[in-house]
């Protein structure tokens, strides 16, 4: 099997050298070939056409889509073409293979509302004024001109000097065309050029040459890449979180179906505290968050629902009211057990601290309380102003695909502590570790934050909140991260890693069979999109 690994590596090296494929494409080839190698279980050079045909049928039986099967077949064909050209084989066992025909689909269009939301998110994202100006310029020019991503990334800076209303683009086949610029795009360009030119002046003083591109970078081409942009778009879409639209209706519905209290207990709770006589309404929900994954998706939904409903009936939205109402909805859905952490974070954004006693660096925002079977519980909710950092690390989330019920896990921990007093010390130490982590976070001491995350996870594992899959993911990313831990209540769901190499960490997560999301700090809270 080692021979197979070496063959695959030689193939990947050749593809990278000849075609300059992206890391994602290389990773896809690698995963596809490793799977067929493991399934058939012998040297790839000994595979027959019949065995390869059976493998494609096997993928179909597993329920893989036509596009996935077609991609696997393409990887196999490309590999054996390489083997013949390199002299490892005389004949190609895949030459007669045919796969599923893929329909020619029209490109998926996004609505004007979605475009506006993405523009708004993009303008606010970035760790510095430099990044925010660049992101805004990218989206405004792309939206106004309709040019291809590659064309935008490689645009010469000379073509946009002097506030032009039209710019000349050299596209495929060296064909030239004129594209328009809107007033917002022109203003965004002027703003970005100021920051870009200042940085280029600094580079010149350091002995470096000026870039000829509008969006310079350290890539081999000297400008931002298509893959970089798509990763940014993905992260901006994630930052958009959960969106809810409310409209008048003859009955209460969610996504066109009758409101079901079992499926949507959070919505039922939010509605019950509304002004009497309001409704019925229809809810349309869109979310980029994984459900039941320890990401606070239900909290985000509850906050969004509260704000959407209040806004629809003409009331002025209040983020603190939304956080409190959503907290009660969480408790209703989780049999009376809920912390205001997720709901406060969803509403307020940024760095939120929830404790019975806030640390000195936290600014008090509001108090929360909840009547439980053990009595009245109270919390202080505060925020920490993170210091400006030109190069903060990223947060990468890994979703196991295994949902987790918060209420169930909280009850399990309560039972464990009641039967084993030693485990209470683990729970108490989490609070102490968190306090240390907050001090580090407030000072942007990221390495210390990562150490706190690792220590916190060890305690959570001792409380039986981790799973073998979560442990495998965390072990795989720790060599490339400052720290890593499970998120939420545990028992499945998500883990997260603090890292300066988000792409590598995301790849490791996906190589182990989980889904990855890249996010960042300094995010805004809930917003009303009109």
CATH number, position 433:
3.30.70.890
- 528 and 398 within one domain: yes
Q: How many domains does the chain have?
A: 4
- 211 and 75 within one domain: no
How far apart are the C-alpha atoms of 480 and 506, rounded to whole Å?
10
Q: Any idea what DSSP says for residue 74?
A: H
Give the per-residue pLDDT at 45: 87
Give the per-residue pLDDT at 105: 44
- 517 and 402 within one domain: yes
SS3 529: coil
Give the per-residue pLDDT at 292: 41
Question: Which of 186, 212, 238 is the endpoint of a domain?
Answer: 238
- 527 and 390 within one domain: yes
Q: How many of the other CB atoms lie within 10 Å of CB of 55?
A: 19
Question: Which of 348, 378, 398 is the endpoint of a domain?
Answer: 348
Give the per-residue pLDDT at 295: 43
Q: How many of the other CB atoms lie within 10 Å of CB of 438?
A: 21
- 57 and 7 within one domain: yes
How far apart are the C-alpha atoms of 180 and 178, rounded to whole Å?
7
Give the per-residue pLDDT at 530: 58
Burial of 175 (0-12, 13-18, 19+ CB in 10 A): exposed
How far apart are the C-alpha atoms of 204 and 198, rounded to whole Å?
10
- 472 and 397 within one domain: yes
Confidence (pTM): 0.49
How far apart are the C-alpha atoms of 367 and 500, rounded to whole Å?
35
Give the per-residue pLDDT at 282: 86
In a domain, 91, yes or no: no
How far apart are the C-alpha atoms of 455 and 452, rounded to whole Å?
5
The CATH number of whichever domain residue 263 belongs to comes to: 3.30.230.10
User: Is cis: bond before 280, omega within 30 of 0?
Assistant: yes
How far apart are the C-alpha atoms of 135 and 127, rounded to whole Å?
11
User: Is cis: bond before 395, omega within 30 of 0?
Assistant: no
Under-70 pLDDT residues of the chain: 1-2, 18-24, 99-127, 171-174, 227, 230-243, 275-277, 286-297, 335, 389-390, 403-427, 489, 521-523, 529-530
Q: Any idea what DSSP says for residue 270?
A: H
Interval 175-211: pLDDT, tens:
788 888 989 899 999 999 999 999 898 888 888 888 9
The CATH number of whichever domain residue 51 belongs to comes to: 1.10.150
Give the per-residue pLDDT at 497: 94
Question: Which of 37, 69, 85 is the endpoint of a domain?
Answer: 85
- 287 and 176 within one domain: no
Give the position of tokens 């106004």. Answer: 144
- 523 and 421 within one domain: yes
Give the per-residue pLDDT at 101: 58
Give the per-residue pLDDT at 26: 74
Interval 371-388: pLDDT, tens:
877 788 888 998 888 777
Q: What are phi and psi of 218, to 5 degrees?
A: -90, 10
For residues 241 and 291, the answer to whether their CB atoms sit within 8 Å is no
Count of CA atoms in the C-beta half-sphere (13 A) of 254: 17
Report residue 9 as tokens.
Answer: 């590596």
For residue 159, give its domain range: 112-238
Give the per-residue pLDDT at 234: 54
List the 375-384 sheet strands across, edge first. Answer: 351-355, 375-384, 363-372
How far apart are the C-alpha atoms of 97 and 75, rounded to whole Å?
12
How far apart are the C-alpha atoms of 259 and 323, rounded to whole Å?
22
Question: How is the chain split among helix, strand and coil, in percent rounded to 5?
Answer: 50, 15, 35
């Amino acid at each position: 099997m080692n021979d197979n690994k070496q063959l695959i590596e030689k193939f990947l090296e050749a593809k990278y050298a000849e075609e300059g494929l992206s890391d994602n494409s290389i990773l896809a080839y690698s995963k596809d070939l490793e799977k067929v190698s493991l399934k058939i279980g012998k040297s790839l050079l000994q595979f027959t056409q019949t065995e390869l045909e059976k493998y494609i049928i096997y993928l179909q039986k597993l329920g893989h889509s036509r596009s996935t099967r077609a991609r696997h077949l393409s990887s196999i064909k490309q590999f054996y073409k390489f083997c013949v050209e390199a002299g490892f084989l005389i004949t190609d066992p895949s030459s007669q293979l045919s796969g599923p025909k893929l329909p020619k689909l029209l490109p998926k269009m996004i609505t004007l509302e979605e475009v506006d939301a993405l523009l708004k998110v993009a303008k606010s994202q970035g760790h510095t004024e430099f990044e925010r100006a660049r992101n805004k310029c990218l989206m405004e020019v792309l939206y106004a001109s309709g040019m291809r991503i590659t064309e935008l990334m490689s645009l010469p800076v000379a073509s946009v000097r002097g506030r032009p209303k039209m710019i000349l683009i050299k596209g495929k086949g060296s064909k030239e065309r004129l594209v328009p610029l809107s007033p917002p795009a022109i203003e965004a360009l002027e703003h970005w050029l100021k920051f870009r030119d200042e940085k280029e002046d600094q580079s010149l003083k350091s002995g470096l040459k000026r870039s000829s591109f509008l969006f310079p970078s350290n890539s081999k081409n000297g400008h931002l890449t298509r893959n970089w942009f798509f990763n940014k778009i993905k992260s901006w879409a994630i930052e958009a979180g959960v969106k809810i639209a409310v409209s008048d209706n003859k009955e209460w519905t969610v996504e066109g179906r009758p409101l079901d209290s079992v499926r949507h207990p959070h919505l039922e709770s939010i509605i019950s505290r509304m002004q009497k006589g309001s409704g019925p309404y229809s809810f349309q929900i869109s979310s980029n968050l994984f459900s039941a994954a320890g990401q606070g998706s239900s909290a985000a939904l509850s906050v969004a629902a509260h704000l959407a409903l209040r806004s629809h009936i003409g009331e002025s939205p209040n983020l603190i009211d939304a956080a409190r109402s959503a907290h009660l909805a969480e408790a209703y859905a989780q049999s009376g057990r809920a912390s205001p952490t997720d709901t406060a974070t969803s509403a307020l954004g940024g760095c939120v601290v929830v404790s019975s006693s806030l640390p000195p660096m936290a600014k008090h925002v509001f108090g929360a309380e909840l009547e439980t079977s053990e009595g009245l519980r109270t919390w202080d909710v505060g925020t920490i102003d993170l210091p400006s950092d030109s190069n903060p690390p990223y947060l990468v989330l890994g979703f196991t695909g295994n949902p987790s019920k918060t209420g169930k896990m909280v009850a399990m921990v309560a039972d464990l502590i009641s039967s084993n007093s030693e485990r209470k010390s683990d729970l108490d130490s989490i609070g102490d570790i968190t306090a240390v982590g907050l001090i580090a976070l407030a000072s942007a001491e990221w390495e210390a934050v990562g150490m706190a995350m690792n220590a916190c996870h060890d305690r959570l594992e001792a409380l039986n909140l981790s799973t073998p899959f979560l442990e495998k993911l965390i072990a795989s990313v720790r060599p490339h991260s400052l720290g890593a831990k499970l998120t939420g209540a545990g028992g499945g769901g998500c883990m997260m890693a603090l890292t300066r190499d988000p792409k590598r960490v995301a790849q490791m997560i996906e190589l182990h069979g989980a889904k990855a999301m890249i996010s960042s700090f300094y995010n805004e809270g809930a917003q009303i999109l009109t």
